[in-house]
Amino acid sequence: MKRTRSPSLRHKSKKTPVRKSSEGATTQVRKSAATDQWVGADTSTVVTQELIALATVQLGTKPLFWGRYFKGPGDQNPGRYQAQLEGLILNSNGIRVLPIAQQTNNVALDQSTGHRDGLRNGAAIISSFGQIYLSNLADGILVFLDVEGPSLSAEYYKGWSNGLIVAGRTEMVEAGASEGIRFLPAVYGPKGDDSTWQSLAHAVAEQAQCAGVWIARPARLVAIPCESGMTRTR
């Protein structure tokens, strides 16, 4: 998402508690008492106390989570999550981070590119939050692939989802925990992009893992399960 935008409202359906993280990356969230919804924000700028205050006014309640972008480890682009600048602020406000994988112009490419990007996205999240913290999140870490430019290809998604999962189990993960990190691949994309959703369905039919989708709609964003039998977004 290349544009800079004000915090945007996210609703989670009643069957889909979201996970995110502030100092780490994901845990289940409590519903907002004011709205009976899981309400959050996302920005392509570093989160500040002033931005949280603005989001609270716009949403009518403090966000429970904040979507931030991840690409690769060591990335100092302020459009993507900067743990040293915003981690403490988010943590002190009880706001968790919802990771969004951002390499929007690549999503129409091939499986090997997707796999490489998934590995890098996983490494970026690990470097931001630490392997021990992430490995202790038994329910896993939901990571949305940002699809807002070219439509998603099935081959790219198969590679990306696999690369992301593998990133939690490889030598990129420091030693120190008995089990690896459970990354849960998902997709963020616009309503009406039939090609993207058909490609995703094709990839899932060929055994690619998809924990959920996040549909961008005018003035309203919703996360729903990828499979009808799921009781919550993972």
Angle at 10 between CA 9 and CA 12, to 5 degrees: 150
pLDDT at 211: 96
Question: Which strands, in side-by-side order, build the sheet including 65-70?
Answer: 11-12, 220-224, 213-217, 183-190, 141-146, 96-101, 65-70, 40-42
Per-residue pLDDT of the chain (234 residues; tens, 9 = 90+): 333 333 333 333 332 333 333 343 443 344 444 445 688 888 899 999 999 999 999 889 999 999 999 999 988 898 899 988 899 999 999 999 999 999 999 999 999 999 999 999 999 999 999 888 898 898 999 999 999 999 999 999 999 999 999 999 875 455 555 568 999 999 999 989 999 999 999 999 999 999 999 998 755 544 444 443 222 222
Whether the Cβ atoms of residue 185 and residue 161 lie closer than 8 Å to each other? yes
Cα–Cα dist 35/129, whole Å: 30
Whether the Cβ atoms of residue 224 and residue 233 lie closer than 8 Å to each other? yes
**By C-alpha distance, which of 122, 123, 94 is closest to 23?**
94
pLDDT at 25: 44
**How remote is the C-alpha of 198 from its chain's centroid?**
21
Cα–Cα dist 122/127, whole Å: 9
pLDDT at 180: 83
**How remote is the C-alpha of 194 from its chain's centroid?**
21
Residue type, 31: K
Q: Pull the structure tokens for residue 98.
A: 């919802």
Q: What is the pTM of this model?
A: 0.77
Report the DSSP beta bridge partners of residue 145.
Answer: 101, 187
pLDDT at 182: 93
Go through the domains of the chain in sequence order and give each one's CATH number. Answer: 11-224 (3.20.20.80)
Contacts of 201 (CB under 8 A, 6+ apart): none
Half-sphere exposure of 136 (CA within 13 A, CB side): 8
